[in-house]
A and B are shown apart, each in its own frame.
Chain A
Amino acid sequence: MDRIRQIIDKHGRLPAKAETLRPQQDLYAAGLTSFAAVQLMLALEEAFDIEFPERMLNRRSFSTIEQIAACINELSPKALAS
């Protein structure tokens, strides 16, 4: 979760620091634009060495920190543990 928060800080372009966001808090409501969402997705792929399949490429997958973690966990169960 901390690594996800770091990446959100770097690529999410949110007005608030990611450490202040709850895992279930809506990132779009917190100011995530569709442009930043794509940049965030690319950064997550790079950082966790994963590739999001088409079925995860929707608004919901990137809507909360918890959702992002769930997607990453599904694609690479060990990625978040390391």
Chain B
Amino acid sequence: MTSLQDRAALVAAVAAQYTEQVDRDGRFPTEALRAMKEHRLLSAFIPKEFGGEGAALADIADVVSILSQSCGSTGMVYAMHQIKTSSLVTHGGASAWHRAFMERICDEQLLLGSATTEGGGIGGNLRNSICAVERKGERFSLEKVGALISYGIQSDAILITARSGPDAPPSDQVMAVFTKDQYTLEQTMKWDALGMRGTCSDGFTFRGEGDAAQIFPNDFGDIAAKSMLPICHILWSAVWYGVAYAAFARAQNFVRAEARRTPNVVPPGALRVAEAANMLQLMKSNTTAAIHRFEKAEQGGEDLGSVGFIVAMNNVKIGASRMACDVINHAMLITGINGYRNDTPYSVGRHMRDAMSAPIMISNDRIFGNMSNLLLMHRIEPSLVA
């Protein structure tokens, strides 16, 4: 089999053909998903013993970035699928049901969706649930109202959070897997947004019933702190890097074309290209440093789930989301009217609209709020390299 990155490039080429249509019509990138399944990208993160490739997080992040350079929505869908997969890889190994499910993801190239938010004012707050699982013997059922589920219709299975029982407080959560044949989705809201239009993050009422074995054995707080939070922030940052890189590349092409037309004169936009390249490098270092820290923490020790680790991972998200918008803003200034128009080779409007989701997808203000609390106790490490 060819390398993961080579196969990602083939999928990215498909995504690129349809990205404008996906964006304009707010439709799901069906063709790119079909190519992902054909090239077996959906199971890359799953360990070899279950039929996957056991890819490193760095390689998955690279694939996310490659796809996002062609189509932000496609990259984001793949990132979200891998964030869900990571919960299975990290926490599902102890349970026979989840091990068998990982094999199914590989065999059938299943796309995993996520239902972690719900209505009633808790929307967007990952660590609180209103709904609760109701256990009856070996079975359980769950109803979640007002859940925003990206590509909910296209998902082959959904990982969903809920309180661990009808009497549990909002923060005592579990996560469960439901396969498509086990739930119904009643659509309550249509996704029509500024950017990331192809993620189809519609609102639904979710009703499902399954075997109690489908509930993860660990409590959700543990899953959130140890795998979901870091991998989510790393892979989102990879999406935004990809989107920012694509806009930067267009701006650089624009300036090069100008330089060719007027030899011996450095075009005015060249300085901004240099400035944007600097920000792009910061974005890259930011994300790769987080990948290294996560991979090291996963080997053992106290770092994973510590306050310092959580602060660092939150900072990765904030840094990447802010810089993505700055880079693309530079690209717009460089390309001028050609970038502003939607019909030139230098158009960067879609990139800008996609990237503007970054600071509000888990609002940076809310993250800063949480971090200001954590920094009442945590001291930032003085060492540069540790």
Structural contact, B378 and A28, CB atoms closer than 8 A: no
Residue-by-residue, is A29-48 near B (CB-CB < 8 Å gives 1, otherwise 0)? 11111110011011000000
Which among B225, B307, B370, B378 has the greatest number of chain A C-beta atoms within 10 A?
A: B307
Structural contact, A33 and B171, CB atoms closer than 8 A: yes
A47 to B200, CA, bound (A): 51
Q: Is B168 an interface residue (CB 8 A)?
A: yes
Structural contact, A31 and B306, CB atoms closer than 8 A: no
Structural contact, B169 and A42, CB atoms closer than 8 A: no
Q: What is the distance, in angstroms, from B353's C-beta to the closest C-beta of chain A?
A: 33
Q: What is the distance, in angstroms, from A61's C-beta to the closest C-beta of chain B?
A: 10
> Of B171, B370, B373, B374, which one neighbours A28 at CB under 8 angstroms?
B171
Counting residue pairs across A and B whose Cβ atoms lie within 8 Å, the total is 52
Q: What is the distance, in angstroms, from B192's C-beta to the closest C-beta of chain A?
A: 33
Within 8 A of A (CB), among B127-170: 127, 164, 168-170
A52 to B377, CA, bound (A): 8
For A, the interface residue count at a CB cutoff of 8 angstroms equals: 20
Main secondary structure of the interface of B (DSSP, over half): loop
A65 to B4, CA, bound (A): 48
A41 to B307, CA, bound (A): 13
Q: Is A78 an interface residue (CB 8 A)?
A: no
Within 8 A of A (CB), among B63-103: none
Q: What is the distance, in angstroms, from B366's C-beta to the closest C-beta of chain A?
A: 11
Q: Which residues of A contact B172 (CB under 8 A)?
A: 28-31
Q: Which residues of B contact A42 (CB under 8 A)?
A: 376-377
Q: Is A70 an interface residue (CB 8 A)?
A: no
By beta carbon, the residue of chain A nearest B375 is A38
Q: Which residues of A contact B168 (CB under 8 A)?
A: 29
Structural contact, B171 and A54, CB atoms closer than 8 A: no
> Of A34, A39, A52, which one neighbours B127 at CB under 8 angstroms?
A34
Q: What is the distance, in angstroms, from B258's C-beta to the closest C-beta of chain A?
A: 51
Q: What is the distance, in angstroms, from B296's C-beta to the closest C-beta of chain A?
A: 16
Binding site for A on B (CB under 8 A): 127, 164, 168-172, 219, 221, 225, 302, 305-308, 370, 373-374, 376-379
Closest 3 CB pairs of A and B: A31-B169, A57-B307, A29-B172
19 contacts between A and B (CB under 8 A): A28-B171, A28-B172, A28-B221, A29-B172, A30-B169, A30-B172, A31-B170, A32-B171, A34-B373, A38-B373, A38-B377, A41-B377, A42-B376, A52-B377, A54-B306, A57-B306, A58-B302, A58-B307, A59-B221
